[in-house]
Structure 1
Amino acid sequence: MRSTAGTGPALTVTGRLATITLRKPAAINAIGPEEIDAVTAALRAAVADASVATILIRGEGERGFSAGGDIKRVRTMIASGEVDALAEFWANEYRLNHLIDTCPKPVVSIAHGLTLGGGVGLASHASHRIVTDSTRLGMPEVLIGLSPDIGGLWLYSRAPGRTGAFAALTAAHLSAGDALYMGLADHYVPHGEIDDVVERLQYLHPAEALEGFDAQPPSWVADHRGAIDRVFGANSVLEILESARLLEEKSAVAEIAMASLAAASPTALCVTYEALCRAANMHGLTECLDQDLRVGQHCARHPDLTEGIRARVVDKDRKPNWCPPTLADVSPVDVERFFAPIGKPLRFSDW
Structure 2
Amino acid sequence: MNSPVLFQVLDTANHMKVGVATLNSPQTLNGLSLDMCNLLAEQLSVWQDDDTIALVVFRGAGEKAFCAGGDLHGLYKAMQENTSGEAWNNTYARKFFDDEYRLDYQIHTYPKPILCWGNGIVMGGGVGLMMGASHRVVTDTTRFAMPEISIGLFPDVGGTWMLARLPGGTGLFLALTGAQLGAGDCRFLGLADYTLGSGQWDELVGKLQASNWSDASGDNDLALRRLLVGMQPSADISSGPLQQHYSLIRQSCDGTDFDAICAAIMAWSGHEDPWLQRAANTFKSGAPGSARLSFALLERVRLLSLAEVFRQEYIVSLHCGVQGDFQEGIRALLIDKDKQPKWNPATLEQATDTWVQRFFETPWPDLVSHPLTSLEHTAPDGVVAAL
Question: 2: distance between equivalents of 1:257 and 1:64?
Answer: 21
Question: 2: distance between equivalents of 1:61 and 1:254?
Answer: 30
Map Cα deviations across residues 147-181 of structure 1 (whole Å, 9 max, x no partner). 11000111112223321111111011111111111
- 1:12-91 aligned at under 5 Å gives the runs 12-15=8-11, 16-81=17-82, 83-91=90-98
Aligned to 1:9: 5
Aligned to 1:347: 373
TM-score, normalisation: structure 1 = 0.92
Match of 2:159 among 152, 160, 167: 152
Question: 1: distance between equivalents of 2:81 and 2:71?
Answer: 16
Map Cα deviations across residues 78-118 of structure 1 (whole Å, 9 max, x no partner). 11126122122111111111110111111110111111100
- Report how many residues are paired: 344
- 1:1-351 aligned at under 5 Å gives the runs 6-15=2-11, 16-81=17-82, 83-202=90-209, 203=211, 204=213, 205=220, 206-212=224-230, 213=232, 216-244=237-265, 250=271, 252=273, 255-282=277-304, 284-343=305-364, 345=370, 346-348=372-374
Q: Following TM superposition, by how much is the alpha carbon of 1:201 offset from its aligned partner in structure 2, in angstroms?
A: 2.3
Residue 171 of structure 1 aligns with an amino acid whose one-letter code is: G
Q: Following TM superposition, by how much is the alpha carbon of 1:254 offset from its aligned partner in structure 2, in angstroms?
A: 5.9
SS, match of residue 181 in structure 2: coil
Structure 2 unmatched ranges of 5 or more: 12-16, 83-88, 214-219, 377-387
SS, match of residue 159 in structure 1: coil
Which shows bigger deviation, 103-112 or 224-233?
224-233
Map Cα deviations across residues 191-213 of structure 1 (whole Å, 9 max, x no partner). 12222122222335312321233
C-alpha distance 244-121 of structure 1, shift in aligned 2 (>3 A): closer
C-alpha distance 307-297 of structure 1, shift in aligned 2 (>3 A): same
Which shows bigger deviation, 166-175 or 255-264?
255-264
Question: 1: distance between equivalents of 2:276 and 2:29?
Answer: 31
SS, match of residue 56 in structure 2: strand
Question: 2: distance between equivalents of 1:103 and 1:324?
Answer: 40
Q: Following TM superposition, by how much is the alpha carbon of 1:17 offset from its aligned partner in structure 2, in angstroms?
A: 0.6
SS, match of residue 3 in structure 2: coil
Residue 235 of structure 1 aligns with an amino acid whose one-letter code is: T
Q: Is the 8 A contact 1:68 1:117 kept in 2?
A: yes
Q: Following TM superposition, by how much is the alpha carbon of 1:276 offset from its aligned partner in structure 2, in angstroms?
A: 1.2
Residue 93 of structure 1 aligns with an amino acid whose one-letter code is: E
C-alpha distance 149-197 of structure 1, shift in aligned 2 (>3 A): same
Residue 52 of structure 2 aligns with an amino acid whose one-letter code is: S
Report 1 or 2 for greater relative contact order, CA contacts < 8 Å, sequence distance ≥ 6. Answer: 2
Question: 1: distance between equivalents of 2:286 and 2:255?
Answer: 18
Residue 299 of structure 2 aligns with an amino acid whose one-letter code is: C
C-alpha distance 325-208 of structure 1, shift in aligned 2 (>3 A): same
Question: 2: distance between equivalents of 1:97 and 1:256?
Answer: 30
SS, match of residue 116 in structure 2: strand
Q: Following TM superposition, by how much is the alpha carbon of 1:347 offset from its aligned partner in structure 2, in angstroms?
A: 2.9
Identity %: 32
Q: Is the 8 A contact 1:236 1:273 kept in 2?
A: no
SS, match of residue 112 in structure 2: coil
Question: 2: distance between equivalents of 1:148 and 1:244?
Answer: 18
TM-score, normalisation: structure 2 = 0.84
C-alpha distance 285-167 of structure 1, shift in aligned 2 (>3 A): same
Question: 1: distance between equivalents of 2:313 and 2:148?
Answer: 12
Residue 8 of structure 2 aligns with an amino acid whose one-letter code is: T
Map Cα deviations across residues 249-294 of structure 1 (whole Å, 9 max, x no partner). 9454763453122111111110011111222222x21121111101
Q: Following TM superposition, by how much is the alpha carbon of 1:183 offset from its aligned partner in structure 2, in angstroms?
A: 1.5
C-alpha distance 32-246 of structure 1, shift in aligned 2 (>3 A): closer
Question: 1: distance between equivalents of 2:90 and 2:39?
Answer: 22
Question: 1: distance between equivalents of 2:267 and 2:23?
Answer: 45
RMSD (Å), alpha carbons: 2.0
Question: 1: distance between equivalents of 2:239 and 2:374?
Answer: 38
Question: 1: distance between equivalents of 2:140 and 2:31?
Answer: 21
C-alpha distance 297-172 of structure 1, shift in aligned 2 (>3 A): same
